């Protein structure tokens, strides 16, 4: 029975984080991002390019809104898993012709690029006139250990960067708040503990702590939400010409 039970447990604890999977690591941030994308996807249309796509966990959110969903990422990126993007490339050198896409999606990317303007100029180049970018701009999230982590952006900083690259901000959608940030700081060391050969002992206690911490911080985040203190913004911006 050990095999089927183990496989079932992996299906429950692994895979993409959904709206209600609060026993998973980083649910506190991921479900808020899903809500922001559901709000921002009304701007998406035509051919969409997901820059830094990873395993494309959010592609399903754009079903029926775009005609094709493309993805590009670094070769050997730890976020790819078994997925194969349409192209391997850096965000600063996209292998597509000018004006190839109606929509560009860039999540969890902006803070890991050493020269943000190079990335934004490439995004603008591959967008058709009137095309839209949905860009996640991190303001106070934890450091990500798998990539070099360069910047944090307030709403004003993101606005400045976009306008300097010829992209006009249309909407800023807040993602999470201060209590969500506290919760992420609390569960990160738990995630480090729940690895290796001792995981057979730590798995259930750590998952239980995930549930308690994330649900408590989610409630506090809603009660004491401050619009100036956010994890990140999903910025919708348009190429004007």
Q: Which CATH architecture has domain 29-177+225-239?
A: 3-Layer(aba) Sandwich (3.40)
pTM of the full structure? 0.88
The yes-or-no verdict on residue 159 having pLDDT over 90 is: yes
Classify residue 197 by burial, with Cβ atoms within 10 Å: 0-12, 13-18, 19+.
Answer: exposed
pLDDT in tens, 42-89: 999 999 999 999 999 999 999 999 999 999 999 888 788 788 999 999
Q: What is the model's pLDDT at position 30?
A: 93
Q: What is the model's pLDDT at position 238?
A: 98
Q: What is the model's pLDDT at position 6?
A: 36
Task: Give the whole-angstrom CA distance, residue 180 versus residue 219.
Answer: 9
Task: Give the whole-angstrom CA distance, residue 24 versus residue 106.
Answer: 23
Domain positions in the chain are 29-177+225-239
Name the phi and psi angles at 27, rounded to 5.
-55, -35
User: What is the DSSP code (8-state) at residue 105?
Assistant: E
Q: Cβ of 46: how many Cβ atoms within 10 Å?
A: 14
Q: What is the model's pLDDT at position 7?
A: 36
Percent of the chain with pLDDT over 90: 78
Over residues 147-171, the mean pLDDT reads: 94
Over residues 11-23, the mean pLDDT reads: 63
Structure tokens at 181: 């940030």
């Amino acid at each position: 029975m050990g095999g089927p039970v183990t496989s079932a447990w992996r299906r429950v604890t692994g895979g993409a984080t959904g709206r209600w999977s609060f026993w998973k690591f980083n649910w506190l941030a991921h479900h808020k991002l899903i809500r922001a994308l559901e709000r921002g996807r009304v701007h998406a249309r035509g051919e969409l390019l997901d820059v830094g796509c990873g395993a494309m966990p959010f592609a399903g959110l754009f079903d029926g809104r775009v005609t094709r969903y493309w993805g590009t990422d670094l070769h050997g990126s730890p976020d790819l898993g078994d997925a194969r993007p349409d192209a391997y490339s850096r965000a600063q050198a996209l292998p597509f012709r000018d004006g190839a896409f109606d929509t560009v999606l860039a999540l969890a990317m902006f803070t890991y690029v050493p020269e943000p303007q190079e990335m934004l100029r490439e995004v603008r180049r591959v967008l058709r006139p009137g095309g839209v970018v949905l860009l996640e701009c991190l303001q106070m999230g934890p450091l990500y250990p798998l990539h070099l982590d360069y910047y944090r952006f307030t709403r004003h900083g993101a606005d400045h960067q976009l306008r300097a690259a010829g992209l006009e901000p249309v909407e800023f959608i807040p993602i999470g708040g201060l209590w969500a940030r506290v919760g992420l700081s609390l569960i990160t060391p738990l995630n480090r503990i729940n690895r290796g050969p001792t995981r057979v002992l730590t798995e259930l206690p750590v998952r239980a702590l995930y549930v308690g911490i994330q649900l408590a911080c989610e409630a506090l985040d809603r009660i004491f939400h401050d619009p100036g203190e956010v994890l990140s913004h999903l910025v919708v911006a348009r190429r004007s010409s």
